[in-house]
Amino acid sequence: MNNRSVSKDTDARVRELQTQVADLKELVNTLLSVICEEPDGVTSGAAPSYGQPKMNYCM
């Protein structure tokens, strides 16, 4: 009987952690999208364009 109780507690905890992981993945993807996109959708020079040398800039 005790093993069954522990198993149910473990299953509930695993489900809770899986939900938290899914929420955190969504948050990380949202934050990465916000960080990577230009604020006005126009290339402002803050990030190098394709074809430019990859030196002397900071991200």
pLDDT (tens digit per residue) in 10-23:
999 999 999 999 99
Show me where the domains of the chain are located.
Answer: 1-39
CA distances, 40 to each of 25, 52, 55 (Å): 25, 21, 25
pLDDT in tens, 3-55: 788 899 999 999 999 999 999 999 999 988 888 876 655 555 555 566 666 66
Query: What is the C-alpha separation between 19 and 28, in angstroms, rounded?
Result: 14
Integer-rounded Cα radius of gyration of the chain: 22
Q: How far apart are CA 24 and CA 16, in angstroms?
A: 12
What three-state secondary structure class fits 51? coil
This prediction's pTM = 0.54
